[in-house]
Amino acid sequence: MSEEKIQDQAAESPETSDSSTPEEETAIMKDAANAKEDFKEPKKHQMPLAGQIFIALVCAIVVGMLIRNHADFAVTYIQPFGTIFLNLVKFIVVPIVLFSIMAGVVSMSDIKKVGFIGGTSLVYYMLTTAFATTIGLIFANIFKRFYPLLNTSNLSYDAPPKTSFMDTIVNIFPSNFITPMSEANMLQVIVMALLIGFAIILAGKDAQHAVGTINTWNAIFMKAMDMILRLSPIGVFCLLCPVVAQNGAMIIGSLAMVLLTAYICYVVHAVCVYSFTVSTLGKMSPIKFFKGMMPAMLFAFSSASSVGTLPLNMECAQKLGASKEVTSFVLPLGATINMDGTAIYQGVCAIFIASCYGIHLTLPQMVTIVLTATLASIGTAGVPGAGMVMLAMVLQSVGLPISGIALVAGVDRIFDMGRTTLNITGDASCAVIISHMQDKRNAKKAAKEAKVENAQA
Ligand code: ASP
């Protein structure tokens, strides 16, 4: 990953908040300058991170196939290093989301602006997710006849305790300052970040120092994340290799059709929906968009974590022209609540499980799936495997047997790699679009002000 952008963020932060002290500004600038020295361009012999990840991915598949008969070895000795990498990612995620959203809010220094960006992204996220589930249901119904009739007896799956809709809403709001962070409850962390960010804006001069401090900590955690991300090729290899070694061609074969359906939907959603929204609302060529997003997409594919991909996603979106102000707000929000890939997966799996059990779903039941999957994807954490847990909620909503999850659990990682890739691409498309809208609003405002000035003169 080219760390330059992230360091640029650190260097720019004090400007956006003209309230940091001169000492703080100098320190941040110095840090950023040092960092730039280190990271200017990848040294000639050094391959960009995206390339390294790609090679790790290919190696993981090749080695995984070679040690198919020693899957235990891969699980016992290779996977733990992948777990270490994921632990580090999880460790850094809470401070990253907390500080980047706070920094995003205070840099706007205008609650109306936050409202516009937050409101527009929320509408975009919800609509695209509902669309994604619908695409999933349509394709799953088309491919239904090719699904194998699997043996559904003796299946067991420990479903998470059922929570009511109102409880879900109540649980978004933290009752304690520390628990959301210690439990990595991302929705609560977002509420905390927004609340504190708004309070800083409203406190005005009294909170001037806090702005500089937030920007400083944001830069520090971004740098820490960057250090962790340098390990991602190793992490990717160690995570993927055991998956390939364990899930030989056989299990993939019996579930090939449902996997294929999900992947077709991921591609259709990306190519149709994002290309359309990015070109019409964001005025950007879809080819440019997907090309620019490639490093983040590759990383998401191998790490299966939206939140872990956040820093790289921010970098890619900013390189595509999205403003720092928008990306630092819209992307952490999206990594937590926007999961189009997960919604597709849930729609496809619901139909698959129903057909394995010989259950026919009615149209109202499908509508229920669209609504529940859209809500479930909001509550899905951006970490590997979270979507499968939320699938239980979708199945419950239409009375499908939760034990059916065991049918797809074996290959969940393969679903997850694709759905995470789509999840983060959706977040970035939103950032590009809102950034463009914001630019237009600013230009309009400037033109209006110029008109008034001219009239007064
Ligand atoms: N792994 C996905 C993500 O991080 C969430 C899921 O399991 O669907 O976006």
258-278 pLDDT tens trace: 899 999 999 999 999 999 999
The pLDDT value recorded for residue 201 is 87
* Ligand 1 pocket: which of 339, 388, 408 to mutate (most atoms within 8 A of CB): 339
Closest of 395, 417, 426, 352 to residue 131, by C-alpha: 426
211-225 pLDDT tens trace: 889 889 988 987 887
Quick one: tokens of 382? 């951006």
Quick one: tokens of 293? 């997003």
Residue 358 CB neighbour total at 10 angstroms: 8
| Contact call for residues 382 and 421 (beta carbons, < 8 A) | no
Residue list, ligand 1 pocket, CB within 6 Å: 304-306, 339, 342, 380, 382-387, 416, 419-420, 423
Cβ burial of 361 (10 Å; 0-12, 13-18, 19+) is buried
358-393 pLDDT tens trace: 888 888 888 888 888 887 777 677 777 778 877 877
The protein residue whose alpha carbon is closest to atom 6 in ligand 1 is 387
* Ligand 1 pocket: which of 302, 305, 312, 424 to mutate (most atoms within 8 A of CB): 305
105-119 pLDDT tens trace: 887 777 777 888 888
**Of the ranges 49-53, 312-316, 446-450, which one carries the lowest mean pLDDT score?**
49-53
The protein residue whose alpha carbon is closest to atom 8 in ligand 1 is 387
Query: Which region, left, alpha or beta, applies to residue 21 given φ > 0 means left and ψ of -120 to 50 means alpha?
Result: beta
Inter-CA distances, 346 with 258, 265, 321, 425, Å = 11, 12, 33, 18
